[in-house]
């Protein structure tokens, strides 16, 4: 696990306010994108691999898949660190009723972007925050509607050669050159599309006892 050296702000407690235990915060994810996003909050956290099977269940909707995996990741890490506040997250791209996961290679990425050309894709970014010692379980999901431009095979190939987003659901990095593939983004949590909805994260970890400001 890797420790991020950010300084946590603390509240001044008056004698009438009993001190609460200072809990560790753990990101249950090996995603470099989620790690970078969480570091923006300037609070210390650790990173742990959840080691969860991400295979979809029969007839499972993309939203239900993302929600189940986010909670499974948080619970898997929380079992190893029961006193900590653990964040789990998962993102599934939804085209119609179909789930689009990480392409993994160039061929799959070409196929995904070809299917998404000119279409509206919903990125289901699910979040779970768990602390086993206190019994806290909080869940939420941010839905981001993304309208893709009509893309030519040449544009798709140029983009994939430039950015190689094979570890990203939907084969595009909106925080990079992938923004050029898009017509419009509609969401209420600006970082959700990158992989971790920080507005919702702040709300849930604050409820779980992590002091932000």
3 state SS for 77-88: HHHHCCCCEEEE
Identify whether 19 is part of a domain: no
Classify residue 141: in a domain, yes or no: yes
Does position 12 have pLDDT exceeding 60, yes or no? no
Of 168 and 201, more confident: 201
Report the alpha-carbon distance of residue 62 to residue 47 in Å, rounded.
26
Does the pLDDT of residue 101 top 80, yes or no? yes
Cα(73)–Cα(54) distance, integer angstroms:
10
What pLDDT, on the 0 to 100 scale, is given for residue 102? 87
Q: Over the stretch 122-163, which tens digit does the pLDDT of each residue have?
A: 999 999 999 999 999 999 999 999 999 999 999 999 999 999
Question: Active site includes 140?
Answer: no
Instruction: Quickly state the pLDDT bin for 21 (edges 50, 70, 90).
Output: low
| Residue 72 within any structural domain of the chain | yes
Structural domain contains residue 15: no
- Position with higher pLDDT, 207 vs 102: 207
Residue 57 forms part of a structural domain:
yes
pTM: 0.85
Give residue 123's pLDDT. Answer: 95
Q: Indicate whether 159 belongs to any domain.
A: yes
> Of 24, 53, 90, 186, which is the active-site residue?
90
Q: Write the CATH number for 149.
A: 3.90.950.10
Asked if pLDDT for residue 14 goes beyond 60, the answer is: no
User: Is position 2 within any domain?
Assistant: no
CA distances from 66 to 52, 103, 180 (A): 12, 16, 26
Domain count, the chain: 1
> What counts of helices (H) and strands (E) characterise the chain?
5, 7
Cα–Cα distance for residue pair 194/53, rounded to 1 Å: 22
Give the pLDDT confidence score for residue 85 in this predicted structure. Answer: 98
Over the stretch 26-81, which tens digit does the pLDDT of each residue have? 999 999 999 999 999 999 999 999 999 999 999 999 999 999 999 999 999 999 99
Task: Identify the domain containing residue 188 by its residue range.
Answer: 25-207
| Confidence at residue 22, expressed as pLDDT on a 0 to 100 scale | 84
106 within domain boundaries = yes
When mean pLDDT is compared across 13-27, 73-87, 169-183, the lowest value belongs to 13-27
- Residue 210 CA to residue 87 CA, distance in Å, equals 12
């Amino acid at each position: 696990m890797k420790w991020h050296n950010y300084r946590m702000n603390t509240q001044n407690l008056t004698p009438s306010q009993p001190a609460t235990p200072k809990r560790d915060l753990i990101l249950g994810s090996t995603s470099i994108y989620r790690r970078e996003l969480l570091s923006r909050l300037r609070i210390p956290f650790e990173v742990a691999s959840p080691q969860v099977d991400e295979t979809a269940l029969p007839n499972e909707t993309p939203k239900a898949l993302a929600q189940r995996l986010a909670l499974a990741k948080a619970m898997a890490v929380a079992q190893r660190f029961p006193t900590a506040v653990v964040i789990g997250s998962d993102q599934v791209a939804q085209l119609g009723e179909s789930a689009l996961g990480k392409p993994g290679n160039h061929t799959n990425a070409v196929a995904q972007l070809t299917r998404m050309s000119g279409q509206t894709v919903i990125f289901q970014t699910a979040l779970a925050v768990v602390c086993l010692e206190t019994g806290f379980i909080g869940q939420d999901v941010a839905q981001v509607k993304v309208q893709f431009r009509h893309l030519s095979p040449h544009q798709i190939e140029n983009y994939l050669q430039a950015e190689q987003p094979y570890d990203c659901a939907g084969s595009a990095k909106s925080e990079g050159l992938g923004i050029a593939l898009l017509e419009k983004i509609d969401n209420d949590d600006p970082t959700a599309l990158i992989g971790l909805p920080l507005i919702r994260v702040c709300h849930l970890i604050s409820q779980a006892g992590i002091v932000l400001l």
